Amino acid sequence: MKEFFTFYNSQFDAVLTAQTYADEATVHAKGTGKVVAAAIIDVTGNDPAKKFWNNGQTITCVTVDTDQIKESRTNPSALADIDGMIDRL
């Protein structure tokens, strides 16, 4: 299973930014014929997906393929960065 996670901290980060990254990943994946599950994860919670977060900075985007981290980017500067992550997944 291919996954795209956006990790954010609800105490400091705008959820809208995290959602925008997840939405872009979903749209780009669909446009390229890939099936990718996208989710936003608040690092203040106990979501099991936090095992893919490096406990560093937020906002961090991570791509995962079959429980293996493929790529991680902190604070992507453009939606094209998200598209590239999906392309390489």
Residue 58 DSSP one-character state = S
| The pTM of the whole model exceeds 0.75 | yes
In the chain, the domains with their CATH numbers are 2-88 (3.40.30.10)
7 has pLDDT over 90: yes
57 has pLDDT over 80: no
Give buried/exposed letters for 37-49 (b at 16+ CB in 10 A, else e). Answer: ebebbbbeeebeb
pLDDT of residue 73: 94
Distances (CA, A) of 61 to 71, 73: 8, 5
pLDDT band at 28 (very low <50, low <70, confident <90, very high): very high
